[in-house]
Chains A and B, each alone.
Chain A
Amino acid sequence: MNFPEELRYSKSHEWVKNENDEVVIGISDFAQSELGDVVFINLPQEGDSVTVGEAFGDVESVKAVSDLICPVSGVVSAINEELLDAPEKLNRAPYGAWIIRVAEVSETEELLGSADYEAFCAAEG
């Protein structure tokens, strides 16, 4: 299991990276492994507002569906359209396959650093 140090993590297993004025969001290695084969993803549209602690989309694995919970509030500035056709990228490279970029960030939940998140996952798993 991989927990890159340069990222921060939510307790609902999203990773967050600040890039310029925006926030990039994806799902962690632990999340993809728990989900199993991801076969489908529902994404918001550019310009949609997102709210801390609320779903901004969902991922379906063969087994089940899981909401994607937004760790920040703001406006969606980009979505990773590649994932619509190839959601399995979330399994293959969870930290390469970003899901959305959020601009005009107004609020951010409390995020965990890599070591704390790893410990959190160990307790959950």
Chain B
Amino acid sequence: MSDLKRTQLYTVHTSAGASMVDFGGWEMPVQYPDGIVAEHLYTRHACSLFDVSHMGRLLIEGPDRVAFLQHVLTSNVLALDVNKAQYCILPDKNGSAVDDAYLYRFEENRFLLVVNAANTEKDLSHLQSVLPAYDCTITDITDQWAAIAVQGPKSKEILSVLSGGQMLTEPMKNALNTLQMEGRTVLIAKTGYTGEPLGYEVYIRSADAVWLWNRLIELGAKPAGLGARDTLRTEAGMPLYGHEMGLDPDGKPMPIFAVPLAKFAVSFSQQKGDYIGKSALERQSAAFKRIMNRDFSDMADLPRRIMPITLLERGVMRGGMPVYRGGTQVGYVTSGTMVPYYRAEGEGLQTVITGETAKRAIGLCYVDSDLLENDIVEVDVRGKRLKAVIPACHMRSDAPPFARPILYRPEEEETAADGGGRFEKAVELLKRAEENHLWRQKQCINLIPSENTPSHAVQLLCASDPACRYAEHKKIKSFYDKDIFYYQGTKFIDRAEQLLTEEMRAYLGCSEVETRVISGQMSNMAVFSALMDWKNRLDRKHTPQRLGYVLNNHIIKGGHLSAQPMGALHDYIAVDPVTERSAVVNFPVCRDNIYKIDVEETKKLLDQYRPELIIFGKSMVLHKEPVAAIRQFVDQEHIPTTIMYDMAHVLGLVGNHFQQPFAEGAEIVTGSTHKTFFGPQRGIVGVNYRKEELKYGLWETIESRTFPGRVSHHHLGTQLGLLMAAYEMNTFKDAYQAAIIENAKYFARCLKSQGLNVAGDPAIGYTETHQVIVSVGYGIGAEIAERLEENNIIVNYQATPDEEGFTASGALRMGVSEMTRFGFGKEQFKELASLMADCILRNKDVSGDVEKLRGQFTEMRYCFNGSEFDDALEQLARRIGF
């Protein structure tokens, strides 16, 4: 093997006892003494290192770098922001792949293209042949920089030791960063070829490669070779050039759209213009769409596709084995192997990955495009036809920190619900409801920051007669904007709604309030719908344009779901034709405090994107939002925009103790009425437009997008209850809000002194809101929350801004509002902090102590009492039969 190339890590591999093989002209480790199965499993439960220095690393620089890459790659290079990477394919003119690759943008003015080792020379000559038409250069830096893939659930923890705790990358897939690791510069990418939700590829100067490899081993990573790399990528369903791309076993070129990833890797953006193979790819794309719609009448441009395949009988599939449906050959296995996996027990979030392992024979196949998921096929395994199935996938990566094997399970027929015994079930339901009510109201300490218990008066009004009525109403211009009701019997609720509107105007400090929205999410949808309608009001002859750009808080940084493209923005947000993504940009956060918006960085984005809508507000919220600073900036820069503050969590804190959104410059406030506010579960929209202003029209559109746009009946019972809650809030807010802030700060301090890891800035007492966030350890938030529930303490498990999502949650999100309302003060929060520390840190059973503490505080505060009020309340309850 003397003429083979060797990577910077060659001697590390041989001295670790690796078996070396020729791979694409490189002498590479195929496995270490532990073997492929052990290496595969170690990647899935801990962390493996892969030497990927053999892969070609090409630097593309120069004025025409974007135009060049747009021409030679399938992806939209303009959509690639700095510190992001994208999967791409090098197409040939017939729409087949020359190679697949990853494009990294670590710096503004350079791109790093990483290609397959065996294809590097071919790729280079292909790229060089196009290059003369462009003013840019390609430099092969394969020798100067080594590359190590660090993959598996422990990868983040291990690499974070070397970064000195500094955040490696943003938690999203394909995020990049440049970091110092113990004094050495590394380029780090949240990418990989194992399907691990936590996995990084690290680029480091050749001279430091051995150092990094050895440090990672010292910290608990183990080396893995090309064998495990192949079984891992096959299980993850990822294509390998030469198997799932390039030529098929018959020697015919495979179309790029045969690979499922093509959907993401191929762009037809106008900005991208013409490029190599584009027209062939457009034909493939058209065929792909037909096939996805199960129209198999014309599959000529995409006759076969790559799909996962699972053997249902004993055996192992290998690349090249024919696949049959009925008696007819429908394709080939392209990659096949036997992979090990850890068995799991339990369901849902309680799923536990056991130490017990098993194996399954899986693979990928290139089969006729009319095959569907769950189709049964046969594979010719060396003369024997074995039964196999086309499953949806072999594995999922969307529940970090672990990749989860998906085992093929034929659909089981659901047993029909037993029709009888409904009377008994009804009685049982009453008993269960009583049990639940008493547990949540008398025995549990509720710290969910999105919840509150309304007073008896509010609850009683909610259940009183309007609860079963309709009161649709609309302002009619012919009657000078007088509200016209469509139903009789509504005078009482009409008056109540007017009073509620007045109370909420006074509370929010604004000119107009819409109270008919029945949730915070609906409040936002009414506003987004109105903004879109308002934007298109002068042109009704075209399909309305959607909103874009919108500036919001990213969900991972604590943003509301109801302000995300996947949430309430979904039907109203435009797609940016350049990036081909939702036209949303996120508030940058401070480097030293990820819970706080970075105002100076935000100003740069405002100048760059000039968003038409700015949405403040978070569901994980420790700080005031910088409304005044941003208002001042957009006014000064004349950026035509609308500033909205989604106050869902902090609606009950509007005032001197927290923020006065309208006084600070917000135009629209939305919120839910049941988190820090005292009401039943509803929403609210307030605006501060005056009749003479142009944007008063936007307000009128919000009204019409509420009714008839969103609601027909608007839940009149809870609307009535909300009026009482508004009376309570306007009467008691000063004392209540002061107590909330004081309790939250004190609770945070007590948790900290109990040894818990409280998030936020100690200089301000960790929080400026009702919320307190405690980190309990990466990935175990849900487990701790479950333990607390067993001890009668109800909290949210929560992913912090540097975690990947809810299954990786390492924090608890808590709010003091409900317990403050039940009379908890400093003394009780101190005791609670100590009980929580016992439960979280020492796994002590504190359920009895919690119940006892809770039992002393069942009387609601910050609401009306006294004999006159109590008598009236009692009479209402008695006479309406509650």
Contacts and interface: CB of A to CB of B under 8 A. Distances in A.
A88 interface: yes
B31 interface: yes
A80 interface: no
A60 B231 CA distance: 14
Given A36-B227, A37-B36, A39-B338, A60 B316 contact: yes
Contacts of A36: 19, 31, 35-36, 227
Given A39-B316, A39-B359, A40-B361, A60 B36 contact: no
Contacts of A64: 318
A37 B35 CA distance: 6
Nearest to A84: B314
A62 interface: yes
A58 B381 CA distance: 12
Interface of A: 36-37, 39-40, 42, 58, 60-65, 84, 88, 91
Contact of B316 (A65, A84, A91): A65
Interface of B: 19, 30-31, 35-38, 40, 227, 231, 314-316, 318, 337-338, 340, 359, 361, 382
29 contacts: A36-B31, A36-B35, A36-B227, A37-B36, A37-B37, A39-B37, A39-B316, A39-B340, A39-B359, A40-B316, A40-B338, A42-B314, A42-B315, A58-B382, A60-B315, A60-B316, A62-B36, A62-B37, A62-B227, A62-B231, A62-B338, A63-B30, A63-B36, A63-B227, A64-B318, A65-B316, A65-B382, A84-B314, A88-B37
Given A36-B31, A37-B37, A65 B314 contact: no
Contact of B35 (A40, A42, A91): A91
A43 B31 CA distance: 27
A38 B26 CA distance: 26
Contacts of A58: 382
Contacts of B359: 39-40
A88 B37 CA distance: 10
Nearest to A42: B315
B177 to A, nearest CB: 34
Contacts of A42: 314-315
A42 to B, nearest CB: 7
Of the listed residues B315, B316, B361, the one surrounded by the most CB atoms of chain A closer than 10 A to its CB is B316
Nearest to B357: A88
A35 to B, nearest CB: 10
B656 to A, nearest CB: 68
Given A60-B338, A62-B337, A40 B231 contact: no
A40 B227 contact: no
A91 B340 CA distance: 16
Contacts of B314: 40, 42, 84
Contacts of B19: 36
A37 B228 CA distance: 11
Contacts of B316: 39-40, 60, 65
B226 to A, nearest CB: 10
A37 to B, nearest CB: 4
A122 B231 CA distance: 30
Contacts of B382: 58, 65
A43 to B, nearest CB: 10
A5 B744 CA distance: 77
Given A62-B37, A62-B227, A65-B382, 9 more contacts: A36-B19, A37-B35, A37-B36, A39-B37, A40-B359, A40-B361, A60-B316, A62-B40, A91-B35
A67 to B, nearest CB: 9
Contacts of B37: 37, 39, 62, 88
Nearest to B37: A37
Of the listed residues B227, B231, B338, B361, the one surrounded by the most CB atoms of chain A closer than 10 A to its CB is B338
Contacts of A37: 35-38
B255 to A, nearest CB: 29
Contact of A65 (B36, B40, B227, B318): B318
A63 B21 CA distance: 12
Contacts of A40: 314-316, 338, 359, 361
A60 B363 CA distance: 15
A62 B34 CA distance: 13
A88 B316 CA distance: 15
Contacts of A84: 314
Nearest to B358: A85
A40 B382 CA distance: 14
A84 B314 CA distance: 9
A15 to B, nearest CB: 21
A46 to B, nearest CB: 17
A62 B231 CA distance: 8
Of the listed residues B30, B31, B37, the one surrounded by the most CB atoms of chain A closer than 10 A to its CB is B37
Nearest to B30: A63
B798 to A, nearest CB: 40
Nearest to B21: A63
B364 to A, nearest CB: 16
A62 B37 CA distance: 8
A61 B359 CA distance: 12
A42 B313 CA distance: 12
Of the listed residues A36, A58, A91, the one surrounded by the most CB atoms of chain B closer than 10 A to its CB is A36
Nearest to B316: A60
Of the listed residues A39, A64, A88, the one surrounded by the most CB atoms of chain B closer than 10 A to its CB is A39
Contacts of B361: 40
A29 B36 CA distance: 18
Contacts of B231: 62
Nearest to A60: B316
Contacts of B30: 63
A101 B37 CA distance: 29
A60 B360 CA distance: 13
A58 B382 CA distance: 10
A9 B256 CA distance: 50
A37 B316 CA distance: 13
9 closest pairs, A vs B, by CB? A39-B338, A60-B316, A62-B36, A37-B37, A37-B35, A40-B316, A37-B36, A39-B359, A40-B338
Contacts of B40: 62
A58 to B, nearest CB: 8
A59 B37 CA distance: 15
Contacts of B318: 64-65
B842 to A, nearest CB: 41
B779 to A, nearest CB: 29
Nearest to A39: B338
Nearest to A88: B37
Nearest to A34: B19
A3 B739 CA distance: 80
Of the listed residues A36, A37, A84, the one surrounded by the most CB atoms of chain B closer than 10 A to its CB is A37
Contacts of A88: 37
A63 B228 CA distance: 10
A84 B359 CA distance: 12
Contacts of B340: 39
A68 to B, nearest CB: 13
B43 to A, nearest CB: 13
A65 B359 CA distance: 16
A36 B33 CA distance: 9
Contacts of A91: 35
B591 to A, nearest CB: 45
A36 B31 CA distance: 9
A71 to B, nearest CB: 21
Nearest to A41: B314
Contacts of B337: 62
A27 to B, nearest CB: 16
A73 to B, nearest CB: 22
B749 to A, nearest CB: 55
A95 to B, nearest CB: 19
Contacts of B31: 36
B34 to A, nearest CB: 9
Of the listed residues A42, A61, A62, the one surrounded by the most CB atoms of chain B closer than 10 A to its CB is A62
Contacts of B315: 40, 42, 60
Of the listed residues B31, B38, B359, the one surrounded by the most CB atoms of chain A closer than 10 A to its CB is B359
A115 to B, nearest CB: 26
Nearest to A91: B35
